[in-house]
Structure 1
């Protein structure tokens, strides 16, 4: 292997995506904390998916949130401890657990929605509608480069 091959990281998309995701993660968590929302970004995503379709089973939820089953189980255990969700055995297949929002989970999601809307506005500040569409188009191309066209996220 030739170790003299130069890689221009500053002009490569990958590092810029990585930096941007880290910045977004930091500001999302900081903003949720500033609004006294006992919620992580990952928990917010689960609340959103269950708000869209309550009663998803854990396999469906893992797929929709791009998490492996064990990390989703850990996340759901934490959310159950906060009384955001409850898991119930499926009525037809006892091996399947369905996940439901609790009253507290629904209320927390409702409180968090305007905060997330504010974050989205901050993210898109100074970006035109055309630029936004170009960014989305480019990100979809990157996803398809890895054989992934994940439309369900």
Structure 2
């Protein structure tokens, strides 16, 4: 029996370009936080941002908002609790759920990241006009929707 080998031109697909770009952005955040003496990862910064905007959110809702599974979010929150950035309290409405709060220390750290975040956004978007930026966002949303459709059709 003869085996057919599919010739896949992965380099010409969107996937590796998205992956490389995400890694570059992640590295920029980490280098900038380290240079500023801020003990934080990009993932932790995103948690702080969400809590800064919506403090006391249910842990399961936070997992959904940050595109994380519940167990990886629980590990991340444990590290952040150790650093004194967040605290979890058992929900009074449902004892099976935790509500997550940003601490004063977490707010202070998040405030320190704001100019760093803005600088990275400025670098990322330099020489990209508003129309191209909007098109990029639209295309990325379409890719996300394609994957949502794929998982719902299984």
Both structures adopt the same fold (TM-score exceeding 0.5): yes
* Equivalent in the alignment of 1:2: 4
Give the drift of 1:10: 2.4
Is 1:70 aligned to 2:71, yes or no? Answer: yes
Q: Cα deviation per residue 1:39-74 (whole Å; 9 max; x = unaligned)?
A: 000000000000110001110111111111111010
Which protein is richer in helix relative to its size?
2
Count, aligned residues:
147
Give the drift of 1:96: 1.3
Structure 1 segments unaligned to the other structure (5+ residues): 149-153
* Equivalent in the alignment of 1:146: 147
* Equivalent in the alignment of 2:152: none
**Residues in 1 aligned to 2:71 and 2:22: alpha-carbon distance in whole angstroms:** 23
Secondary structure of 1:147's counterpart equals helix
Secondary structure of 1:7's counterpart equals coil
* Equivalent in the alignment of 1:53: 54
Relative to the length of structure 1, the TM-score reads: 0.92
**Residues in 2 aligned to 1:146 and 1:71: alpha-carbon distance in whole angstroms:** 21
* Equivalent in the alignment of 2:116: 115
Structure 2 segments unaligned to the other structure (5+ residues): 150-154
**Residues in 1 aligned to 2:96 and 2:9: alpha-carbon distance in whole angstroms:** 50
Is 1:23 aligned to 2:24, yes or no? Answer: yes
Give the drift of 1:9: 2.2
* Equivalent in the alignment of 2:92: 91
**Residues in 1 aligned to 2:88 and 2:14: alpha-carbon distance in whole angstroms:** 40
